[in-house]
Chains A and B, each alone.
Chain A
Amino acid sequence: EAAVTQSPRNKVAVTGGKVTLSCNQTNNHNNMYWYRQDTGHGLRLIHYSYGAGSTEKGDIPDGYKASRPSQENFSLILELATPSQTSVYFCASRQIISNERLFFGHGTKLSVL
């Protein structure tokens, strides 16, 4: 079973501060994704990547940056965190060639005060 690990599991940040959420996958998947989940909105795609060095905007990229320095790691960066970014963030990975299932991490609960 593919392993996707997110850190931290919980984070409290102050408004205007910088927040970095990390994601690591050990299955050599090409694609990685960042979603946020909010009541009434479901899971919304923030950024995704199809390989090391690539980042693409999803449906709600404003206020977020992403970084994919290697095949294994994909980070989500909030340069100036705002209370509206309080949410649960999920990272996922997917191999597009042979098995196209999404595999998710356990999520990061972020509170911006």
Chain B
Amino acid sequence: GQQVQQSPASLVLQEGENAELQCNFSTSLNSMQWFYQRPGGSLVSLFYNPSGTKHSGRLTSTTVIKERRSSLHISSSQTTDSGTYLCALGTNAYKVIFGKGTHLHVLP
């Protein structure tokens, strides 16, 4: 089965609403990173967060190793937040695997 699962697969919000994106993993964690990608674009690193909680502006990432999950919270969403959010799990010192992503669409 898939080692990294993201949910929801897609999400539509009205501007100003909050979003909670989940990344669940079934294997041991060595590292956890969240990325943002516009259609046809490159990957922009949002957080490197192997454990605990980190904040950056309207974004918050929380990783709980014991529960094998990481989350990305977006507060007061904006239309410019639209795109795909990907989590990347480092399973050992070398290998890094991705979830399939959450496609977010924020309506004006």
Contact = CB atoms under 8 A, between A and B. Distances in A.
Contact of A31 (B48, B50, B94, B97): B94
B51 interface: no
Contacts of A35: 98
A61 interface: no
B96 A94 contact: yes
The dominant DSSP class at the B interface is: strand
B45 A102 contact: yes
Give the bracket for the number of chain B residues in contact with chain A. Answer: 20 to 34
Contacts of B97: 45, 59
B59 to A, nearest CB: 16
A45 B90 CA distance: 12
Give the bracket for the number of chain A residues in contact with chain B. Answer: 20 to 34
Contacts of B42: 90, 104-107
B86 A96 contact: no
Contact of B100 (A41, A92, A102, A104): A41
Contact of A103 (B30, B45, B93): B45
A42 B45 contact: no
Contacts of A40: 100
B94 A101 contact: no
Nearest to B37: A37
A79 interface: no
Contacts of A33: 96
A42 B99 contact: yes
A100 B90 contact: yes
A101 B48 contact: yes
Contacts of B30: 100
A64 interface: no
Contacts of B98: 35, 42-45
